[in-house]
Chain A
Amino acid sequence: MLILSCPNCGELKDETELSAGGEAHLTRFGPGSSDSDFEGYLFNRENPKGVHFERWRCSSGCGKWFHAARCTATNEVFGTYSAQVTEPPQEIRDVVSAKRPGWTWRDLS
């Protein structure tokens, strides 16, 4: 069973106590944006076999959203971090780089 540590309340929660919120760090495009941007925001998703960044909600705990870095092929969790960021923080990227040398995510590395 997948267990994540909520960075808001510090509790270890298993997946039945959490709600998965899909891909993290999407850039929001609204009225006035181009059709391609809007389509990308609404529908197109990263679907990697490997390192993935996701939104989760501590729904049976503190109720707050957070981010998690996880490997979709093995379910290994690289870490969780605040929802108040627009890209993975450096320490998470360092953890991922140590365990998955040469990984890339969008334009980051």
Chain B
Amino acid sequence: MKRYSAFAVAREAFRFHSGWERAWRSPEPKSEYDAIIVGAGGHGLATAYYLGKNHGIKNVAVIEKGWLGGGNTGRNTTIIRSNYLQDPSAAIYEKARSLYEDLSQDLNYNIMFSPRGVIMLAQTEHEIRGYQRTAHANALQGVATEFISPQRVKELCPIISLEGPRYPVLGGLWQPRGGTARHDAVAWGYARACSDMGMDIIQKCEVTGVMSENGKVSGVRTTKGEIKCSKLGMVVAGHSGVLAEMAGFRLPIESVPLQALVSEPIKPCMDVVVMANTVHGYMSQSDKGEMVIGGGTDAYNGYTQRGSFHHIEETVRALIETFPMISRLKMLRQWGGIVDVTGDRSPILSKTPLEGCFINCGWGTGGFKAIPGSGWGMAELMAKGHSPLTEDFGLNRFREGRFIDESVAAGVAH
């Protein structure tokens, strides 16, 4: 792999950009791998990357039904934060956030991480108390957050209206080292690095069955034939239930559409991410100038990647109250992604009833921010059978009543 650098740009400028090579190979599958990851989204590719980088397992295939990064990795609102309440969540999300900080250098691929800061607005007395509690918990966990006054919110985000008639801004939970990154680049960067390690990324190849022998996974059936493996990682977000059914177990997960939309591009007006959980909406401004807006999930199961229109109406209504200047903005695009939601709103990174088969799912409405940490933990889990990052996120926590309740941190906005 040729490294990207300022020198490379200069070199290519002198030869009509004829020397750029493909970022990753598109090989046909081999008959057998040490490990197969199903799902070439951010989490799947990060898992493969850290399997190779941290654990030396490089005979790996990443199988993708559609195209690389075309699921929720390309559909989220790119927000990165780690201001969660519970210790296990803070550990994995903060690991992810800290990995994001130098991920561009690590991957030699510019993921455009922008630690511009994230404010979660407190708009009710309950939210004030909830976020103050989170700020205290974060202080103990080593996550830099603080509870700030409405005046400070206004300083950080001048376009905000503090005097909302129904829900005035009463304060905010401020994480200055949170921010955004370019979501496609995260998938592409990991894919390029995986391909460089000799891993095969096989796109347009759907898994149609999971093969097992004596209760142990032996491979997968795909639209490109059978592929053997001794370890299988399922990292397929919304379709986890479908894949789990193939492997013969059920999950405490339901899949629902979550929507986002972007406006026409406007001049820079907002250099932080603002989340308003009480009124169901959050917004940031992309580098292109579009206002990136996210809202709520549908109330019922669905795989439509579209979502219900009234959720957009509710989200936009709430954001116009919060940011009156956007009321005349035209919206450019709207889309939906299928998010896999667990009962306690925390992910599942776990062994499964099928030996050698591991699952990484349940990130629900907020998986993008966790990609590097999730891949780091999942790779360790697959390589060693246990990982300090993932031990609390096992499937058995539901049976044993050890929930990691993040409904406050993750209930609505991401």
Contacts and interface: CB of A to CB of B under 8 A. Distances in A.
Contacts of B399: 35-36, 39
Contacts of A60: none
A2 B298 CA distance: 11
Interface string A42-70: 11111111001010000000000000000
Interface string A1-41: 11000000000000110011011000000000001100110
Interface residues of B, number: 23
B303 A73 contact: yes
B241 A42 contact: no
B242 interface: yes
Interface residues of A, number: 26
A49 B303 CA distance: 6
Given A45-B253, A47-B251, A47-B254, A1 B304 contact: no
A109 interface: no
Main SS at interface, chain B: mixed
Contacts, number: 66
A42 B401 CA distance: 11
Nearest to A56: B300
A47 B398 contact: no
B365 interface: no
Nearest to A19: B299
Contacts of B398: 39, 42-43
A71 B395 CA distance: 27
B304 A73 contact: yes
A74 interface: yes
A39 B301 CA distance: 20
B253 A47 contact: yes
Contact of B242 (A1, A2, A22, A49): A49
Contacts of A52: 301
B255 A47 contact: yes
Interface string B155-194: 0000000000000000000000000000000000000000
A97 interface: no
Interface in B226-274: 239-242, 245, 250-255
A16 B239 CA distance: 26
A64 B302 CA distance: 23
Contacts of B252: 43-45
B250 A1 contact: no
A1 B241 contact: no
Contacts of B241: 45-49
B9 to A, nearest CB: 44
B209 interface: no
A40 to B, nearest CB: 7
B309 interface: yes
Contacts of B239: 49
Interface of B: 239-242, 245, 250-255, 299-304, 308-310, 343, 398-399
26 contacts: A1-B308, A15-B299, A15-B300, A15-B308, A15-B310, A20-B299, A20-B300, A23-B301, A35-B399, A42-B343, A43-B343, A45-B250, A45-B251, A45-B252, A45-B253, A46-B250, A47-B240, A47-B251, A47-B301, A49-B242, A54-B301, A72-B255, A72-B301, A72-B302, A72-B303, A72-B304
Given A15-B299, A47-B240, A47-B255, 7 more contacts: A23-B301, A44-B250, A46-B250, A47-B254, A54-B301, A72-B303, A73-B303
